[in-house]
Amino acid sequence: MIPYGRQEISQADIDAVTEVLQSDFLTQGPKTPLFEQLIAHKVSAKHALAVNSATSALHIACLVLGVGKGDWLWTTPITFVASANCGLYCGAKVDFVDIDPRTYNLSPTALEQKLITAERDGKLPKVLVAVHLCGQPCDMEAIHKLSQRYGFKIIEDASHAIGGQYKGQYIGSGHYSDITVFSFHPVKIITTAEGGMAVTNNDQLAEKMNLYRSHGITREPHLMTHEPDGPWYYQQIELGYNYRMTELQSALGISQMERLDQYVARRHELANRYDQLLQNLPLTLPWQHPDSYSGRHLYVIRLTLDRLKKTHREIFEALRAEGIGVNLHYIPVHTQPHYQQMGFKRGDYPEAERYYQEAMSLPVFSAMTEQQQDKVVHVLKGILQV
Ligand SMILES: *Cc1c(COP(=O)(O)O)cnc(C)c1O
């Protein structure tokens, strides 16, 4: 099976992890701060905090932005459930904004409409999670403008987008948001097995996220309620979690970071090659906004079903049967049973639901060969019968 995504592990990665195994620190050593510095420097952010997943990063980002009971968190329905669940973890309520039919990202037009109604009803969101689907950044300038007018905070869920750029700046530079989150799950652009990072330019948010990722415990005298009792002393000043990244993971991340630009460039090569090879088929190929340099995490095609004799599901199953590991990103979150219980219905977000009926992610990953890609194209063309 040619998977839709897969990690690439080099000998240098293996050596880096092995070295940590033989060192003094398996966790809370020197590698994690180094990995954080590398990421912060790469994306031009002031602070970077490594955690054990992007989901944890989303959770602590919501906490430090003050999301709590009675608040609303808004996001797109076309995302992984974690982008919405982080609001529920904090006791907030979640609502969704329909997608743009061209980029499949949250639509700023739909957002503005929803904000007008929410203002009238006194239900404005506290936080918006802007998800850069497939690695293509959202229209952050428009979203940021609306945040100024309606007073909400912005988290960028850049789980797909490390190494990508928006208006010439690396995603994570924080010009249009409060906090940006990256994922290092093995299917993502670089990996630490499990792992995530939250980046911000705000000193207070960084300090608080640092507390929340490690039990709410501090050893900084300036944060304590009184002078330390002695050199052993720490204080728990918040209810935090154990969301720390291990030294093994950080060492792998540091090693992978050396190949980040190369990986994104390779993903662009493969995507451009798909664009060429899949022309003039009953498909919609991924449209790229001229303001963006995507991370190219996913290559999503949409089937033009009224020009095809097979159904979406038949085409999907036929591809899988021939060893092509297609996938679907994503099932609209509001149609998940857990969200249906909250009153969301089919039909609530028509663009998202139409996308779900037509979309398919073709394999794309840095180690993919042109022969593998040719096989995907050949099998797909055969199944589409064109
Ligand atoms: C993968 C992913 C996450 C969760 O990342 P983890 O590191 O697995 O917790 C969140 N949001 C999006 C959009 C993702 O693709």
What pLDDT, in 10s, does the model give residues 20-63?
999 999 999 999 999 999 999 999 999 999 999 999 999 999 99
Distance 56 CA to ligand 1 centre (A): 10
Distance 265 CA to ligand 1 centre (A): 22
Cα distances from 311 to residues 219, 300, 359, 384, in angstroms, run 60, 17, 12, 10
Q: Are strands 299-303 and 169-170 parallel, antiparallel or unpaired?
A: unpaired
Mutate to test the pocket of ligand 1, among 89, 183, 188 (most ligand atoms within 8 A of CB): 183
Distance 147 CA to ligand 1 centre (A): 24
Cβ of 177 less than 6 Å from ligand 1: no
Sheet with strand 283-284: strands edge to edge:
283-284, 299-303, 359-362
Both tokens assigned to 33? 């701060």
**167: CB partners within 8 A, 6+ apart:** 141, 291
pLDDT value of residue 64: 98
- pLDDT tens, residue by residue, 87-136: 999 999 999 999 999 999 999 999 999 999 999 999 999 999 999 999 99
Decide: 51 and 240 in contact? Cβ < 8 Å: no
Exposure string over 244-280, b if 16+ CB within 10 A, otherwise e? bbbbbbbbbbbbbbebbeebbebbbebbebbeeebee
Q: What is the mean pLDDT of the chain?
A: 98
Same fold, 2-257 and 260-384: no
Cβ of 157 less than 6 Å from ligand 1: yes
Q: Is the pLDDT of residue 259 over 90?
A: yes
Average pLDDT over residues 217-246: 97
Cβ of 80 less than 6 Å from ligand 1: yes
Give the percent of the chain with pLDDT over 70: 100
User: What are the sequence ranges of the domains in the chain?
Assistant: 2-257, 260-384
Cβ of 159 less than 6 Å from ligand 1: yes
Cβ of 134 less than 6 Å from ligand 1: no
Protein residue closest via CA to atom 5 of ligand 1: 54
- pLDDT tens, residue by residue, 159-208: 999 999 999 999 999 999 999 999 999 999 999 999 999 999 999 999 99
Cβ of 131 less than 6 Å from ligand 1: yes
Distance 59 CA to ligand 1 centre (A): 12
**181: CB partners within 8 A, 6+ apart:** 54, 57, 58, 61, 155, 156, 157, 158, 159, 196, 197, 198, 199
Decide: 194 and 184 in contact? Cβ < 8 Å: yes
Question: What architecture is domain 260-384?
Answer: Alpha-Beta Complex (3.90)
Decide: 81 and 266 in contact? Cβ < 8 Å: no
Distance 183 CA to ligand 1 centre (A): 6
Question: What architecture is domain 2-257?
Answer: 3-Layer(aba) Sandwich (3.40)
Cα–Cα dist 158/130, whole Å: 8
Confidence band of 240 (pLDDT split at 50, 70, 90): very high
- pLDDT tens, residue by residue, 261-287: 999 999 999 999 999 999 999 999 999
Q: Is the pLDDT of residue 386 over 70?
A: no
- pLDDT tens, residue by residue, 290-343: 999 999 999 999 999 999 999 999 999 999 999 999 999 999 999 999 999 999
Average pLDDT over residues 217-236: 96
